Structure formats: structure tokens, C-alpha cells
Amino acid sequence: MKINVVDIQGNDSGRQIELPEAFFDITPNEHVMYLAVKQYLANQRHGTHSSKPRGIVSGSTRKLKKQKGTGTARAGSIKNPTFRGGGRMFGPEPRDYVIKLNKKVKSLARFSALSFKAQSNAVIVIEDFTFDQPKTKEYVAILKNLGVADNKVLHLVGEYDKNILLSGRNLPKTIIREVRELSTYEILNAQKLIFSESSVAKMRETFK
């Protein structure tokens, strides 16, 4: 599929670029997109939550009272979970939330997300540009020219560009990534996808 290339002023450059049909023109598979998003969110969890069961709580293990004849429930040590200051029953313990997906499933999810955005007219291809030094104000001006300043934006570049990255790093609704770092979650979470012109060719090389 072909799409018009715009310049940093937001004007049509008069040129078109061919987006790979294998990436942008397939039938989106909702289930694999769900699995990829689920994996991404699960892998963000550190799993360091913890609590102290009765075996870890400090305190004497002496039996508090005799087993029978007190008229009350039997009790063991002061670390009994039913006592104030005792251990916690069935509390959270450190665990690993990592979910694994097959490489082909992740690729299908990524391309499904790209196709979904393309079908929603949420893809913009812009001419390559750079800055002499980080300039957030100029980067914001480019977003305004493209009409996406108020949207969640995922800007994909072909190669690492420090000045572009630093220019957009502080913008709360903008994420800048190299195309090789493309993830299903970030594609779906963004309202608009901006591809630098060179990133399309880079994507052909990276995702074969």
C-alpha cells in the first residue's frame, strides 16, 4: 500500500512511499494482539511483593497456654496469624510474572497492530529530519504541523538519533523509538504512528 510522504511543515511532499503489505495490509488477529499486550504488561511487573508468614515473624515459639481446659480456642505460639503482630496467612510472595510467546506469534501481533493502525488512518510518514542540538520547542512545532500535538504519538526512526530522542523525551504523550524496538503494546497504545521515511526501509531489513 502507498502513502503520501509529508515534510516537517505538515505539507505533502509530492512523493509516495510503499508500505510493506506483509506489515501494514493483513487482517488483524485480535487474539494474538491480546496475548502480546498481556505479555508486555506482565513483564513490567517486578514481582517483589512480599509478606511475613509465621515462620519468618520474629517472636517466641513457646506455647502460650495449655491445649485443653481453658474454655477458649487452643493456641500455639505468639506468631499465630490470628494474633496481633503474628504472621500473615496466604500473603503475597516474590514471584516471576514473565510470560513467554513464540517468535512467530509476537511477529503476527506486531504486524496485526500495524495493519489495524493503517486501516484506521493513524499512520503518518514524514521526511527524515534531525536537529543540531536537542530542541523540544522545534519538535513540538513539528507535531503541531502534523496535527498530532494533542494525541498519544509513537515516533519511529530508522537509526538512533540522540538529538531527536532528547527533544521529545520530556513530552508526556510522545514516545520515540528505533523501529527495531517496535512493540505491539506501544503501537496500540498510540493514537498516531509517525514513521520517519528511513524507518520504513529499516523495517524491511529488521522484520523479514
| H-run or E-run covering 197 | helix 197-206
Residue 195 near residue 123 (C-beta atoms within 8 A): yes
Sign of the Cα pseudo-torsion (85, 86, 87, 89, in order): negative
So where are the chain's domains? Answer: 2-45+97-206, 46-96
Q: What is the pLDDT of residues 120-146, one digit of tens each?
A: 999 999 999 999 999 999 999 999 999
Cell of 160: 538512533
**pLDDT grade for 1, boundaries at 50, 70 and 90:** confident
**Does residue 208 register a pLDDT over 90?**
no
Q: pTM value?
A: 0.83
Residue 94 near residue 47 (C-beta atoms within 8 A): yes
**Does residue 14 register a pLDDT over 90?**
no
**pLDDT grade for 13, boundaries at 50, 70 and 90:** confident
**CATH superfamily of this structure's domain 2-45+97-206:** Ribosomal protein L4/L1 (3.40.1370.10)
